[in-house]
Amino acid sequence: MQVLIIGCGKMGGALLSQWARGPGDFTVIDPFAPAVPEGVTLLKNDSTVGDRLFDIIVIAIKPQMIEEVLPAHVGRLAPGGFFLSIAAGFSIGRLAGLSGGKPVIRVMPNLPAAIGQGVSGLCPSADATEAMCASAEALMRQAGTVVRVPDEDSLDRLTAVAGSGPGYVFELARSYVAAANALGFSPEVARELVLQTLAGSIAMAQGSDLSLEELRNSVTSKNGTTEAGLKALNADGGLDERLSATVNAAYARAIELR
């Protein structure tokens, strides 16, 4: 499988770090990329590609660059190939118009893809075959979990939850560490306590058949410390309201970017 990656910024580089471990021949075009994983070909400009054709062309540039950059690569798609876009907010219809009606599969990954623990939403154009979707899913599974969605609105909603989600988690962890620090722990110890508590709790939830409510209750003794903390955290439903507002704000912005 011959794969051309146009651009290799933070997200493109995160995915490539996992893709390079698996099968496939990867070529990157990016004048600013300092380095790529071993075995990957890095080209600083597209004039050195020659007449090579690619089974998959990955669009990993900023959305505002696509209209200028993409048309030059349309002729490099092999028969039966497809475009795979990780560009947020650039619709399948707009991509198809720029690519001469070639099949397009949009993907929305998140940053933990860099360590093979990402979540990616996948939305194919109507003309993308099942074989194309299977190839795209296999590629994205190298970087974590893949969820296929039926339409771009679903992809926008997934973006609001999972695509932007690491930012929410890092912010919650930052606030939690600050609270532990204010309680008297050093910044280093506070960070270790919080991150390991989060990691252990998530691992436990992932390995359990119990609901999150049941798991929460299993640590909550009547009139105990956990109950006191939970009452301060969400007794008035404030946390639920804040998180609902968070994902809805992200979803609204995704709609604006279409």
Q: What is the pLDDT of residues 205-217, one digit of tens each?
A: 999 999 999 999 9
Looking at the predicted structure, is the pLDDT value of residue 252 above 90?
yes
Looking at the predicted structure, is the pLDDT value of residue 45 above 90?
no
Looking at the predicted structure, is the pLDDT value of residue 187 above 80?
yes
Looking at the predicted structure, is the pLDDT value of residue 34 above 90?
no
Q: Decide if 133 contacts 122 (C-beta within 8 A).
A: yes
Q: Decide if 15 contacts 86 (C-beta within 8 A).
A: yes
Domain assignments of the chain as residue spans, ordered by start: 2-150, 165-256
Q: How high is the mean pLDDT of the chain?
A: 95
Q: What is the pLDDT of residue 153?
A: 96
Quickly state the pLDDT bin for 150 (edges 50, 70, 90).
very high
Most confident of the ranges 21-30, 94-103, 201-210: 201-210
Three-state secondary structure string covering the chain: CEEEEECCCHHHHHHHHHHCCCCCEEEEECCCCCCCCCCCEEECCHHHCCCCCEEEEEECCCHHHHHHHHHHHHHHEEEEEEEEECCCCCCHHHHHHHCCCCCEEEEECCHHHHHCCEEEEEEECCCCCHHHHHHHHHHHHCCEEEEECCCHHHHHHHHHHHHCHHHHHHHHHHHHHHHHHHCCCCHHHHHHHHHHHHHHHHHHHHCCCCCHHHHHHHCCCCCCHHHHHHHHHHCCCHHHHHHHHHHHHHHHHHHHCC
Report whether CATH 1.10.3730.10 matches the domain 165-256: yes
Q: Which residue has the tokens 């709609």?
A: 255
Q: What is the pLDDT of residue 32?
A: 86
Q: Which residue has the tokens 């990656």?
A: 5
Looking at the predicted structure, is the pLDDT value of residue 176 above 90?
yes
Q: What is the pLDDT of residue 114?
A: 93
Looking at the predicted structure, is the pLDDT value of residue 49 above 90?
no
Q: What is the pLDDT of residue 48?
A: 81
Q: What is the third-level CATH fold of 2-150?
A: Rossmann fold (3.40.50)
Between the CA of residue 69 and those of 7, 60, 74, 123, what are the distances in Å?
A: 10, 11, 10, 22
User: Among residues of the chain, what percentage have pLDDT more than 90?
Assistant: 87
> What is the C-alpha to C-alpha distance for residues 134 and 142, in angstroms, rounded to an integer?
13
Q: What is the pLDDT of residue 257?
A: 81
Quickly state the pLDDT bin for 71 (edges 50, 70, 90).
very high
> What is the C-alpha to C-alpha distance for residues 43 and 36, in angstroms, rounded to an integer?
10
Quickly state the pLDDT bin for 44 (edges 50, 70, 90).
confident
